[in-house]
Chains A and B, each alone.
Chain A
Amino acid sequence: SQTIHQWPATLVQPVGSPLSLECTVEGTSNPNLYWYRQAAGRGLQLLFYSVGIGQISSEVPQNLSASRPQDRQFILSSKKLLLSDSGFYLCAWSVESVYFGPGTRLTVL
């Protein structure tokens, strides 16, 4: 069966610091991978998606970037965090249904 891992689970970072969130998927090959963000009390917003290694599409302009160095690895990064980057970040993979990881709660102070 497929599983999806994210780490860290929680993160508190100062404004201006860099960010690296990692997501890995097991039990499937060449999955479509996604990064979503959930602001407090809201639904999810798609940030990036990837259909293969090195292929990244951005859905909204922002302070973040994504990379896919390996088939089942998806990384969300920032060079300098902003206060507005705080939120709950979820990685997901899909065949038809979309399955989410446990999420990383990021607080930027």
Chain B
Amino acid sequence: SQQGEEDPQALSIQEGENATMNCSYKTSINNLQWYRQNSGRGLVHLILIRSNEREKHSGRLRVTLDTSKKSSSLLITASRAADTASYFCATAQTDSWGKLQFGAGTQVVVTP
């Protein structure tokens, strides 16, 4: 079954704009991880946020986690054409480190 649900399914923006995508999940988690996947390629790990954390930053990426709402968001600031990709959230439940449950992803297109 699918644990994470990303929203929106697709997002089209212009270079320089910010892109925000959300992820909701159903059960308690140990951590939540965000990944990027370029077409036909493997997954690139972006950020891991633990259940006791509320916000993390990495370069132009900002991730928030609200465990009371069982939701997370990924913000990409000042987007670039190279940010065009599919973005997935994945949750790891307690004592299940690498057994991730993925959502269907958000497809982001950044237009120059």
Contact = CB atoms under 8 A, between A and B. Distances in A.
Contacts, number: 61
B2 to A, nearest CB: 7
A59 B40 contact: no
Contact of A98 (B33, B40, B104): B33
Interface stretch (A65-73, A76-84, A89-97): A89-97
Interface residues of B, number: 24
**Interface majority SS (helix, strand, loop, mixed), chain A:** strand
B98 A43 contact: no
Interface of B: 2, 4, 31, 33, 35, 40-45, 48, 88, 90, 92, 97-105
9 contacts: A42-B105, A44-B88, A45-B102, A88-B40, A90-B42, A98-B45, A102-B41, A103-B41, A103-B42
